[in-house]
Homo-oligomer: A and B are copies of this chain.
Amino acid sequence: MSPAGQGGRKRDDSRDDAIRQAALKILAEAGYDRLTIDAVAARAGAGKATVYRRWAGKADLIIDAVVSMATNPEQPDTGSLRSDLIALTPIAEEGDHSFQADLQIGLVSGLVRDAKRRQVFTEQLIAPRTAVFRAVLNRAVERGEIAPNPNVDMLADVIPAMLFHQLVMTGHPPNAEFALALIDQVFLPLITTSAPRPGCASSHGTHLGAQPLVFRQNPA
């Protein structure tokens, strides 16, 4: 009679949020590895089937929970590049360290493993942040504060990349001292002279890559 489903009880959208909230709480309390679907379902007062009806598994759930709950960065417009950057640079609040670190590392950890999930992660979480940086840079160009640069995109990634690198390598979110040094001693000097150096125009046949990323794949 009904070729395609139109009847039946509707998905209760409040369950999505309840489950996501439960997942985030347990993620904060126990970390990614010790989070179990059973625990999330129990905390949310949901059945496991309800979880699996909506997400394919732990990784999918967590990435969606984090993405959905993430606060979108506000576009700063303070009038100067430096104060825009400072306003934009995320610094963990005190007492927040382990949660934010665990969360980020847990994300990278478990979630960035296959292309589809990484795409969601990147588009939903990373892209909006990068976009704000690019907008800040572009506004600085318009103001004449810095010279136009064909590689704004790459430049805009420097600060997030450095912060992320620091987080992964040390396990702690970068503190204010690190962030200010990064802005004032690395990023701003760079940006003000970002016209390509004469004589160093892109690739004139130079070979790079003598070093493997980590080690050469064993032929065996």
Complex CA–CA separation, A69 to B195 (angstroms): 40
Determine if A203 is an interface residue (Cβ-Cβ < 8 Å): yes
Residue of B nearest to A208 (CB): B86
Instruction: Return chain B residues, CB-CB under 8 Å to A208.
Output: 86-87, 89, 91, 176, 179-180, 183
With contacts A110-B109, A185-B202, A212-B100 taken as known, whether A165 is within 8 angstroms of B154 at the C-beta atoms is no
Number of copies: 4
Contact present for B168 and A158 (CB under 8 Å): no
A39: min CB distance to chain B, Å: 17
Please state if A165 and B160 are interface contacts (CB–CB under 8 Å): yes
Residues of B within 8 Å of A31, CB to CB, are 113
Can you name 7 A-B residue pairings with CB atoms under 8 Å? A33-B110, A74-B210, A100-B214, A103-B214, A115-B171, A154-B162, A188-B197
